[in-house]
A and B are shown apart, each in its own frame.
Chain A
């Protein structure tokens, strides 16, 4: 509905566009808060990383390696859990909005067209935490049950 509005109002004045968009954005934000509270994973970064929150668009860009640098210029090193991990599946569904298989397929295409390599997949939450703690530009996700003392969890908006 929002998209439809957007395309229809494309030719309208900018003020009208904003007036229409604002309530929608607010509504989306509220909905997201609800899901974050229930979600069973946490997104984590290195303690030295200054960011505290990220939206799912940003996270998608990072995990599909479309965005490669943090704002300070450091390289982003995303790390995935194994494909059969429920946390991976949930992350993939809610944040990337793709199934894990679709993500795999995406990476195969990228590999053979020579545009890059997928993030490493680690066995467990602990491995991910260790990896993130060991690499300053790293970003990953673990199940909400995992202990997060070595890394920093950021808010997903």
Chain B
């Protein structure tokens, strides 16, 4: 019968459950009886235990409520305590049966007792009773209180016996329950133990059998299966394990077979691996195969290139001749030839079992036997037969062997083919090695060549090092040179500083010299005039000598000053285009009389190769030539003096680096004079040096000429050279560049020619310009220029002729020379002005005499110093005959610097035009819109816009009349800017020392046009009176001057003309005088005075509105740059330099007095 494990286990579980159930039931029954006992205990005893504190608390509350009522003195509250008492009593009654009936009634009684006493006491306390009686009653009441608490205690305490019996009952019930549980538990456990032991023993045996079986299988012995004893689930397991063991045994055998195959293949591969020849491969393979397959005899045929299989290796064949019945193996056969040939062609291994007897005998030295099987193994590589293996076995050929032979074929075929290829490769390698050896030999040769090259390179490097050394030495020398150069520079700087000190000194000195000279000249002139007629002819002659000596001295001082100025670098360069022909002509004109006088011959030669014009400073060039020619004439007693203008020789050497012989002109002045020794060549150029150390009357002179000439040449970018031989003569050559860039601080922009503009049609007269000039060359030039502008021109060669022509033909303009054959230009001018018919004709001076102030004082509109350029002549014509549209009655000054603007206003005020001053471009445009502006003086740097932009804007406003624009700027302009400005402006003037005159000149051109169109003022004639006509009757003039000589001279001059003269020797004194004497009509103010100088005095004077129109003429010996501006800025109406020209002084004073009077009326 099959009893399964499940059945056994269920049986054990059932027994266990039954035992547990029994135990549970008995425990429940016992517990229930115990609970009953405990409930009884709880309901009887516990309430009584809780009652005591409850009662005590309620009693305490009752007392507290009474106390509160007493404290509050509240009888009502006291009566309310009855309720509390009743409550307490009720609680006591409800406490039964927790306390016994007698206990409860006792307690109620005690409480009532206490309460009646306490309520009495409380009432008395509220009533305010004190004293001993109540004290005793209180104590009685307190005794009752104690009785209550004691009673509560007694009633609630538990009786001992009662508690003990209750607990004993509970304990007994508990003990009974325990006994039942032990009995049931023990029985259950015993039954369980019995069943478990039985079952486990059977299980254990089966499991042991199975586990030993598994361990056997694990060790690989599958032959003994597990014994099957019982029939349950474990038996099933054993059965399955036995089946598994069988399968595993079969698998093992298969694995052994494969393993043998693999090992054999690997063994074969090992044998034939390596670099073997094909023969070696076949032999090793055959040997291995024979051993592995158990073959006793074997052959290996390999195919050759002729497709013939030839025997390459054999195994186990007996030596020839030992077995007569046995055929020799085939040495060779072809494909499909015989069995071997067929086998070779086949793709499978062929097994021939049991070959016929005597087919082959396998022999050893011990005996011979017939093989039982023949195996033919063809070898193929890429489908081509390459060999055949034949094996003879004694036993039958197992499938395992066949399989092995089949599997190894491919590997063997590959190895064989590889061995063949290797052989071929080996041959190739041998060839390659031979070539490589040859290459090595060539390389060796190359290396030796390389070494040779390296050694050459070494030599080169050495040479290089040497060069580096030399370079270092050179750079050190350079540094030394640089040091020396710096030292030299410092010295040069020091020298130039010293030189400038010297120049400063000279300038100051000449100023100091001029002041006394001034008075000397004035007084000697007065004396020579001999107005009183008291002097004898002789005395007048002496006075004239004094005057002319003074003039000479003045010339000398001017020269010194000039030189000093050049050296101090203050000289200005005025560049212009210079016509060389005119230079030559001038030289001849000036020096011909002198040479004639000395009986010398003057040669002036203008070379054919010389350019027609050069750009340079004409005045300087003339001065240089004058000096050189003057010297030459001075030092030449016989023979000739020459001036040659030509291109320099190409080989000439210049000290200046910027000179180029091809772009130069040489001005050579040669003489046949005493000559200069070689060692004195440098010395002659030094100031105050002459070639003869001893004083020689013949050669009297300052010795400054050459110095000035040299400095001047330098200044205009040229060079002065000397070549001379004593006794033969000297040649001074001045080389000047043809074109000179703007290097100085003064750039003169050529005036814009107005040739394109339509020319005005002469209205009053057909004659436009009258030229009063005796120099035919200049006259001709002027005529050309004027005619080129379709204007009529007439030339008068004498003053008289000119005056007549002017009166008769009423020209629109006159060009006047000063030096005329009959009467001089000054006189002509005066007469023109005196004649009402000619007084308003504009006159322009062109003179060799450099006194423009005098010209302007006489009323000229322009003054040019000869020699003049063509451009200047053009501008003269333009000034005289201006374009018709420029006359506007108003001058607009656009200047953002207020001070500068005011000084410009002051400068222009006396020109008699309306003036407007604005400080920015916007205001300027507004003014241009509103006012009739004929002339605009424009500063370029404006706060809101550039001057140029302003002009461009203005150009766009076509409805506006285009004014005459004079650009007056402090800015250095680029070439482009200048060019652009020239398209708009009449003139571009840079703010510097000379700018005021230039500006004045430009404005005068304008004012002249205005005047022409105004009705002639009645006073105009008087203003333009000549000095001799001046009358200062009735005028009171204050002369503020500390130098008494000047005071005397000037006073004498002014008094001579009828003026009253007051004198002040300091600025303070001058102001005092002015304050004291209201009738003063003009002031001559020296700028250099003690205490308060003239500038300050003028400023203070102008600060007083009373004197704002008072003419103040500044006198200064400082002929320095910017002096005029300083004076005007300080408030001067005009400015005169010392030594004062008498005529000029009178004209100026008269002029200002008239102007003042006119302003007053």
Please give the residue numbers on chain A whose beta carbons come within 8 Å of chain B beta carbons, in ascending order: 80, 82, 105, 108-109, 111-122
* Most central of A82, A105, A112, A114 by chain B CB within 10 Å: A112
Contact call B66/A118, Cβ cutoff below 8 A = no
Contact call B138/A108, Cβ cutoff below 8 A = no
B85 to chain A minimum Cβ distance, whole angstroms, is 14
Other-chain residue from B64, B130, B132, B146 in contact with A114 (beta carbon distance below 8 A): B146
Contact call A111/B130, Cβ cutoff below 8 A = no
- Distance of A119 Cα from B135 Cα, bound (Å): 7
Q: Which residue of A lies closest to B65 (CB)?
A: A112
With A121-B130, A121-B131 given, name 15 new contacts (CB 8 A): A80-B130, A105-B71, A111-B70, A111-B125, A111-B138, A112-B67, A112-B118, A116-B138, A117-B136, A117-B138, A119-B135, A120-B130, A120-B131, A120-B132, A122-B131
- Distance of A112 Cα from B118 Cα, bound (Å): 8
Given contacts A108-B67, A108-B125, A109-B67, is CB(A114)–CB(B142) below 8 Å?
Answer: yes
Q: Which residue of A lies closest to B130 (CB)?
A: A121
Could you show 22 A-B contacts with beta carbons less than 8 Å apart?
A80-B130, A105-B71, A108-B67, A111-B67, A111-B70, A111-B121, A111-B125, A111-B138, A112-B63, A112-B64, A112-B66, A112-B67, A112-B70, A113-B63, A114-B142, A114-B146, A116-B138, A117-B136, A118-B130, A120-B130, A120-B132, A122-B131
The 10 closest A-B pairs by CB, nearest first: A121-B130, A112-B67, A117-B138, A114-B142, A117-B135, A114-B145, A120-B131, A112-B63, A120-B132, A108-B71
Report if B134 contacts A (CB, 8 A).
yes
Which residues 69-121 of B have a CB within 8 angstroms of A? 70-71, 118, 121
Report if B256 contacts A (CB, 8 A).
no
Q: Specify which chain A residues have a CB less than 8 angstroms from the CB of B146 in the assembled complex.
A: 114
Report if B427 contacts A (CB, 8 A).
no
B64 to chain A minimum Cβ distance, whole angstroms, is 7
Contact call A117/B63, Cβ cutoff below 8 A = no
Q: Specify which chain A residues have a CB less than 8 angstroms from the CB of B66 in the assembled complex.
A: 112
Q: Specify which chain B residues have a CB less than 8 angstroms from the CB of A113 in the assembled complex.
A: 63
- Distance of A130 Cα from B989 Cα, bound (Å): 140
A96 to chain B minimum Cβ distance, whole angstroms, is 17
A138 to chain B minimum Cβ distance, whole angstroms, is 11
- Distance of A63 Cα from B145 Cα, bound (Å): 24
- Distance of A119 Cα from B139 Cα, bound (Å): 12
- Distance of A46 Cα from B71 Cα, bound (Å): 33
- Distance of A20 Cα from B134 Cα, bound (Å): 48
Contact call B142/A118, Cβ cutoff below 8 A = no
- Distance of A1 Cα from B236 Cα, bound (Å): 102
* Most central of B64, B118, B121, B131 by chain A CB within 10 Å: B131
Q: Specify which chain B residues have a CB less than 8 angstroms from the CB of A120 in the assembled complex.
A: 130-132, 135
Q: Which residue of A lies closest to B149 (CB)?
A: A114
Q: Which residue of A lies closest to B63 (CB)?
A: A112
B60 to chain A minimum Cβ distance, whole angstroms, is 9
Q: Specify which chain B residues have a CB less than 8 angstroms from the CB of A114 in the assembled complex.
A: 63, 142, 145-146
- Distance of A33 Cα from B598 Cα, bound (Å): 151
- Distance of A102 Cα from B404 Cα, bound (Å): 129
B61 to chain A minimum Cβ distance, whole angstroms, is 11
Contact call A118/B135, Cβ cutoff below 8 A = yes
B126 to chain A minimum Cβ distance, whole angstroms, is 10
Contact call B70/A108, Cβ cutoff below 8 A = yes
Q: Specify which chain A residues have a CB less than 8 angstroms from the CB of B134 in the assembled complex.
A: 117
Q: Which residue of A lies closest to B121 (CB)?
A: A111
Interface string of B132-166 (1 = CB under 8 A from A): 10111011001001100000000000000000000
A108 to chain B minimum Cβ distance, whole angstroms, is 5
- Distance of A122 Cα from B136 Cα, bound (Å): 16
Q: Which residue of A lies closest to B118 (CB)?
A: A112
A32 to chain B minimum Cβ distance, whole angstroms, is 30
- Distance of A119 Cα from B136 Cα, bound (Å): 11
B1076 to chain A minimum Cβ distance, whole angstroms, is 98
Q: Specify which chain B residues have a CB less than 8 angstroms from the CB of A108 in the assembled complex.
A: 67, 70-71, 125
B63 to chain A minimum Cβ distance, whole angstroms, is 5
- Distance of A114 Cα from B71 Cα, bound (Å): 16
Q: Which residue of B lies closest to A77 (CB)?
A: B132
A36 to chain B minimum Cβ distance, whole angstroms, is 28
A112 to chain B minimum Cβ distance, whole angstroms, is 4
- Distance of A45 Cα from B1032 Cα, bound (Å): 144
Interface string of B271-296 (1 = CB under 8 A from A): 00000000000000000000000000
A43 to chain B minimum Cβ distance, whole angstroms, is 20
Q: Specify which chain B residues have a CB less than 8 angstroms from the CB of A119 in the assembled complex.
A: 135
Q: Specify which chain B residues have a CB less than 8 angstroms from the CB of A82 in the assembled complex.
A: 130
Q: Specify which chain A residues have a CB less than 8 angstroms from the CB of B136 in the assembled complex.
A: 117
B646 to chain A minimum Cβ distance, whole angstroms, is 127
- Distance of A111 Cα from B114 Cα, bound (Å): 13
Q: Specify which chain B residues have a CB less than 8 angstroms from the CB of A122 in the assembled complex.
A: 131
Q: Which residue of B lies closest to A135 (CB)?
A: B132
- Distance of A115 Cα from B118 Cα, bound (Å): 14
Q: Which residue of B lies closest to A105 (CB)?
A: B71
- Distance of A113 Cα from B60 Cα, bound (Å): 8
* Most central of B121, B135, B136 by chain A CB within 10 Å: B135
- Distance of A127 Cα from B125 Cα, bound (Å): 20
Q: Specify which chain B residues have a CB less than 8 angstroms from the CB of A117 in the assembled complex.
A: 134-136, 138-139, 142
Interface string of B397-432 (1 = CB under 8 A from A): 000000000000000000000000000000000000
A42 to chain B minimum Cβ distance, whole angstroms, is 21
B444 to chain A minimum Cβ distance, whole angstroms, is 109
Q: Which residue of A lies closest to B71 (CB)?
A: A108
Q: Specify which chain A residues have a CB less than 8 angstroms from the CB of B132 in the assembled complex.
A: 120
A81 to chain B minimum Cβ distance, whole angstroms, is 10
Which residues 285-314 of B have a CB within 8 angstroms of A? none
- Distance of A88 Cα from B588 Cα, bound (Å): 155
Q: Specify which chain A residues have a CB less than 8 angstroms from the CB of B139 in the assembled complex.
A: 117
- Distance of A113 Cα from B146 Cα, bound (Å): 10
Q: Specify which chain A residues have a CB less than 8 angstroms from the CB of B142 in the assembled complex.
A: 111, 114-117
Q: Which residue of A lies closest to B135 (CB)?
A: A117
Q: Which residue of B lies closest to A109 (CB)?
A: B67
Q: Specify which chain B residues have a CB less than 8 angstroms from the CB of A115 in the assembled complex.
A: 142
Q: Specify which chain A residues have a CB less than 8 angstroms from the CB of B64 in the assembled complex.
A: 112
Q: Specify which chain B residues have a CB less than 8 angstroms from the CB of A109 in the assembled complex.
A: 67
Q: Which residue of A lies closest to B137 (CB)?
A: A117
Interface string of B1068-1104 (1 = CB under 8 A from A): 0000000000000000000000000000000000000
Q: Which residue of B lies closest to A107 (CB)?
A: B125
A62 to chain B minimum Cβ distance, whole angstroms, is 15
B199 to chain A minimum Cβ distance, whole angstroms, is 79
- Distance of A92 Cα from B118 Cα, bound (Å): 28
B907 to chain A minimum Cβ distance, whole angstroms, is 100
B324 to chain A minimum Cβ distance, whole angstroms, is 138
Q: Specify which chain A residues have a CB less than 8 angstroms from the CB of B130 in the assembled complex.
A: 80, 82, 118, 120-121
